Chain A
Amino acid sequence: MTGHAKEARTEGEPPLLELTDLKVHFQLKKELFQTTKHAVKAVDGVSLSVRRSETLSIVGESGCGKSTMGRAILRLVDPTAGTIKLDGADISRLSGKRLWQHRRKMQAVFQDPFASLSPRMKVGAIIAEPLVNYGTVTGRKAALSRAAELLEVVGLKGEHASKFPHEFSGGQRQRIGIARAIALNPDLIICDEAVSALDVSVQAQIINLLMDLQDEFKLSYLFIAHDLAVVDHISTRVAVMYLGRIVELAHRDTLFDTPKHPYTEALLAAVPTPDPSISSAKAVLSGDVPSPINPPPGCHFNTRCPYAEDRCRIESPVLREIAPHHFVSCHYR
């Protein structure tokens, strides 16, 4: 109940992040004798918003475009069309100094805790880099002591600043990545599969840390993940993506309790339950995810959908609000 109350309260405020019809298409190289250019429509018209202090999770299988969407918001790839409004300002076409000014409001935590830290930089320098970039502290002493403070905030020790990343375990490195992400006091953190590469016991530590930091610093998370159990634990709202489009978007409890889109249903049914007493009589979804180079016409899910009818193979469904705050992209739900 409290979740709904909070949602209602924040409804009036402008969202922190607002995507309108965001598209990211990757042009494929034209092959010899090929007349038309092919494009991978990694993100194909996504509209959503992230409110202050909420966690919006994006779930979907590999290739659904969720990571590309995160990279587009971070402006690591250029959007093909649509707008990205961060705190009211459209950053989708900005570059150089003006983009730089907006970057500090959103930071990122990446999946691979081994590859996301420069191997030849010390931990202190890695965490101090954003502080130095934006001149938020003056002098190297201040920057170093701030880095040490941040290490303690994320549960490491200040003296770890003088070590190299390879001296740490995966979970500890992810803490370092989180320390770097909160260094600039951002409003939004994009967590791109931030706990996916971690072992269960370490994953619990990092999830707890992310939630503690959210409370302490009033952070908003765009939490990109494929593990539905983690998503259920951490989210305020959840969006399900399939082949570059959002197929369902709702409050967490609504989505997990009463999923409407057949894909969401199948996704939830496929998760193995860590409890042998629950019999798993589940409808396994057949087939593979189609190639995003050549997605099926109409509803992208029609090739695997048990309920697909002729209309689904011709006409693309739009994302409609079928109940308050519950959006589904399906002709028949």
Chain B
Amino acid sequence: MSIIGDVKRLDLVTRLDWIGTAVRVQFGRNPSLVLGGALFVLLVLVSVFAPLLTDSDPRRINGIVRLTSPGGDFLFGTDNLGRDMFARTFFGGRISLIVGVSVALIASIAGLFFGLIAGYFRRLDSIIMRVMDGIMAIPGILLAIALVAVTRPSVGNVIMAIAVTEIPRVVRLVRSVVLTLREQPYVDAATSVGTSTIGILHRHILPNAMAPLIVQATFICAAAVITEAYLSFLGAGTPSEIPSWGNMMAEGRIYFLTAPWIVLIPGGFLAAMVLSINIVGDGLRDMLDPRMTKEL
């Protein structure tokens, strides 16, 4: 059993090597990918290390300094309750990231699981795909509002609502990839040498299905960040006591004419985050394209 694991480990080393080379090649060929990646990493870092960047509590209300313009003591100004926009923006970024990454992970793992089954076991295919068609018919926003209506607003609900509606798309993608891969002669060859179904899925199909899945996951991540924002904007998302870019914009919208920064700053960060994730996704798609890996 372990030889394949051993070769796998060797694979990992060469693959890391290969990624290093690929990044260098990409830098020359596709500077926008590298810039997009850098922007994304920067946004992740400031969100993750938000507590180190500022002492102020993003939830502390201070009526004296309400609606202060950006600059001076408050770099990004304050909102209508006098809360520090600088702290709120970076803490808000955490929510966007948590939602984006969690949704991408949950949808990818669940989608991969059901997609592999639907694509490889033809008997289960129509059952799984009809269920997925059903789920696809549910509008994500309505599902989130319904979930909030029966329970209460929470980040977990937001993640669940978005993830559930994203799963069918991943299932379709993985299924179509598996349908192509299972017809490959190397799958026949593996069957002939006595490889079990699990072994075929694990060693021959999964590794070749990963590239499109990773690309899809980045786009899901970007979409989830936006969906979280507008759910929060509608009040069906992140509860108002936790700052998120969506509910910050929602609260700031009535002060837009007098204090536009309350909307523009989180809006700008949201746009930057989504843009950077999409650029990374596009770049990965080019990079993981098998026709190019062959040449590398």
Contacts and interface: CB of A to CB of B under 8 A. Distances in A.
A and B touch in the complex (CB under 8 A): yes
Interface of A: 71, 74, 76, 100, 103-104, 106-108, 110-112, 115-122, 124-125, 128-130, 132-134, 139-140, 143-144, 162, 166, 177, 180, 183-184
Nearest to B4: A125
B188 interface: yes
Given A122-B10, A122-B11, A116 B194 contact: no
A204 to B, nearest CB: 23
A188 to B, nearest CB: 11
B186 interface: yes
Nearest to B184: A115
B194 A134 contact: yes
A115 B182 CA distance: 12
10 contacts: A74-B191, A74-B192, A103-B192, A117-B186, A121-B207, A124-B7, A132-B3, A133-B193, A134-B194, A140-B5
Contacts of A183: 193
Nearest to A166: B294
Contacts of B59: none
Contacts of B207: 118, 120-121
A130 B11 contact: no
Given A108-B188, A118-B204, A130 B193 contact: yes
Nearest to B204: A118
B280 to A, nearest CB: 22
Given A122-B7, A133-B199, A140-B6, A116 B189 contact: yes
Interface of B: 1-8, 10-11, 184-186, 188-196, 199, 203-204, 207-208, 290, 294
B185 A107 contact: no
Nearest to A161: B7
A116 B195 contact: no
Contact of A110 (B1, B2, B4, B188): B188
Nearest to A112: B185
Nearest to B181: A118
Nearest to B193: A130
A222 to B, nearest CB: 13
Given A112-B185, A120-B207, A107 B192 contact: yes
The winner among A71, A104, A133, A177 for most chain B CB atoms within 10 A is A133
Contact of A132 (B4, B184, B204, B208): B4
Given A107-B193, A139-B3, 6 more contacts: A71-B188, A76-B188, A108-B189, A129-B195, A133-B196, A134-B194
A125 B185 CA distance: 17
A103 B194 contact: yes
A184 B192 CA distance: 11
Contacts of A128: 3-4, 7
Contacts of A118: 186, 190, 203-204, 207-208
Contacts of A110: 185, 188-189
Nearest to B190: A129
A177 B203 contact: no
The winner among A122, A139, A177 for most chain B CB atoms within 10 A is A122
Contacts of A121: 7, 203-204, 207
B193 A139 contact: no
A184 B193 contact: yes
A285 B159 CA distance: 68
The winner among B5, B8, B194 for most chain A CB atoms within 10 A is B194
Nearest to B210: A120
B196 to A, nearest CB: 7
A143 B5 CA distance: 12
A84 to B, nearest CB: 14
A281 to B, nearest CB: 40
A133 B185 CA distance: 18
Contacts of A112: 185
Nearest 5 pairs of A and B residues by beta carbon = A140-B3, A130-B193, A116-B185, A125-B7, A143-B3
A120 B189 contact: no
Contacts of A166: 294
A129 B4 contact: yes
A111 B294 CA distance: 21
Contacts of B196: 133
A133 B191 CA distance: 11
B186 A115 contact: yes
Given A110-B189, A116-B185, A116-B186, A133 B3 contact: no
Nearest to A110: B185
A125 B7 CA distance: 6
Contacts of A184: 193-194
Contact of A119 (B3, B6, B188, B208): B208
A133 B199 CA distance: 9
A100 B185 CA distance: 19
A180 B7 contact: no
A144 B193 contact: no
The winner among B193, B203, B208, B294 for most chain A CB atoms within 10 A is B193
A128 to B, nearest CB: 5
Contacts of B290: 119
A140 to B, nearest CB: 4
Contacts of B5: 140
